[in-house]
Amino acid sequence: MPLSLQTYIHGEVEEEEEVDGMAPKRYIPIDSLYCSTSPCVSASGSSMSKKIKARKMVVGGGSQEGEGEERPQEALPEKNRQPSIIHVYRRRRFHKKSAPQNSHDLDIGSGLDSSRAAKPIKKRKVSNLLGLGDILDIVLPIDETRLRSRREYNKSSGRPCKKQRMLPTGHGTSVSGKAKRWVKLSLEGVDPHKFVGLFCKVYWPIDKDWYNGTISKYNPEAKEHHVKYEDGDEESLSLLNEKIEFHISNEEMQRWSLCEKKGLDENEMLALALYLDGGDVVHGDIVWAKLTGHAMWPALVMNESHVAEYGGLKPMKGTILVQFFGTHDFARIKKNQIVGFPEGLFSSFHLKCKQARFNDSLEEAEMYLKHGKFPERMLQMQRTTGLDYHDYIIRDEEEKALSSNNYFAEGSMLGMIEGTKNFPVEIKNLHDLPNSRLCLKYYENLRDLPSGYRGVSVGWKELDRCNVCYMDEEYEDNLFLQCDKCRMMVHAKCYGESEPLDGILWFCNLCRPGAPESPPPCCLCPIIGGAIKPTTDGRWAHLTCAIWIPETCLLDIKKMEPIDGLSRIHKDRWRLLCSICGVSYGACIQCSHRTCRVAYHPLCARAAGLSIELEDEDGIHLMSVDEDDADDQCIRLLSFCKKHKQPSNECSAVGYQIAQDVHNHSSYHHPINPSGCARSEPYNFFGRRGLREPQVLAAASIKRLFVENRPCVVSGYCQNGFLDKGPPFVDRVNANLPCIFPKLKAPRNEIHDSIVSMADKYKVMRQTFRKRLVFGKSAIHGFGVFAKCAHKAGDMVIEYTGELVRASIADIREHRIYNSLVGAGTYMFRIDDERVIDATRAGSIAHLINHSCKPNCYSRTISINGADHIIIYAKRDIKMWEELTYDYRFFSLEERLACYCGFPRCRGVVNDIEAEEQMGKMRMPHCNLIDWRGE
Q: Which residues are at the interface with ligand SAM (CB under 6 A)?
A: 37, 49-51, 54-55, 677-678, 778, 780-784, 825, 827, 847-848, 850-852, 899-901, 910
Q: Return the DSSP state at 311.
A: G
* DSSP states along 580-608: TT----S--EE--STT---EE-HHHHHHT
Q: How far is the CB of 51 from ligand SAM (least distance, A)?
A: 4
Q: How far is the CB of 910 from ligand SAM (least distance, A)?
A: 5
Pick the closer one to ligand SAM by CB: 402 or 899: 899
Q: How far is the CB of 794 from ligand SAM (least distance, A)?
A: 23
Residue of minimal CB distance from ligand SAM?
A: 782
* DSSP states along 827-860: -EEE-SSSEEEE-SSSS-GGGGPEE-SS-SEEEE
Q: Are 321 and 313 in contact (CB under 8 A)?
A: yes
Q: How far is the CB of 898 from ligand SAM (least distance, A)?
A: 6
Positions of E strands within 278-374: 286-289, 297-301, 319-324, 330-334, 338-340
Cα(636)–Cα(512) distance, rounded to whole angstroms?
34
Cα(621)–Cα(628) distance, rounded to whole angstroms?
16
Residues whose CB is less than 8 angstroms from the CB of residue 658 and which lie 6 or more positions away in sequence, other chains included: 618, 690, 691, 918, 921, 922
Cα(428)–Cα(57) distance, rounded to whole angstroms?
49
Q: How far is the CB of 786 from ligand SAM (least distance, A)?
A: 12
Q: Are 635 and 703 in contact (CB under 8 A)?
A: yes
Pick the closer one to ligand SAM by CB: 218 or 769: 769
Q: Are 414 and 458 in contact (CB under 8 A)?
A: no
Q: How far is the CB of 883 from ligand SAM (least distance, A)?
A: 10
Q: Are 527 and 541 in contact (CB under 8 A)?
A: no
Pick the closer one to ligand SAM by CB: 275 or 858: 858
Q: Are 5 and 777 in contact (CB under 8 A)?
A: no
Strand pairing partners for 640?
611
Pick the closer one to ligand SAM by CB: 146 or 860: 860
Cα(479)–Cα(684) distance, rounded to whole angstroms?
9
Pick the closer one to ligand SAM by CB: 51 or 542: 51
Q: Are 685 and 892 in contact (CB under 8 A)?
A: no
**What totals of helices (H) and strands (E) does the chain contain, helices first?**
25, 37
Q: How far is the CB of 851 from ligand SAM (least distance, A)?
A: 4
Cα(97)–Cα(85) distance, rounded to whole angstroms?
27
H or E, element range at 512 = none
Pick the closer one to ligand SAM by CB: 53 or 225: 53
Pick the closer one to ligand SAM by CB: 554 or 853: 853
Pick the closer one to ligand SAM by CB: 765 or 872: 872
DSSP SS3 for 202: strand
Cα(519)–Cα(527) distance, rounded to whole angstroms?
12
Positions of E strands within 467-525: 480-482, 489-491
Distances (CA, A) of 601 to 520, 745, 935: 18, 34, 57
Pick the closer one to ligand SAM by CB: 78 or 137: 78
Q: How far is the CB of 677 from ligand SAM (least distance, A)?
A: 6
Pick the closer one to ligand SAM by CB: 48 or 790: 48
Q: Return the DSSP state at 627.
A: G
Q: How far is the CB of 906 from ligand SAM (least distance, A)?
A: 8
Q: How open is the CA angle 111-112-117, to the nearest 5 degrees?
A: 100
Pick the closer one to ligand SAM by CB: 50 or 761: 50
Pick the closer one to ligand SAM by CB: 210 or 783: 783
Q: How far is the CB of 816 from ligand SAM (least distance, A)?
A: 19
Q: How far is the CB of 32 from ligand SAM (least distance, A)?
A: 16
Q: How far is the CB of 68 from ligand SAM (least distance, A)?
A: 18
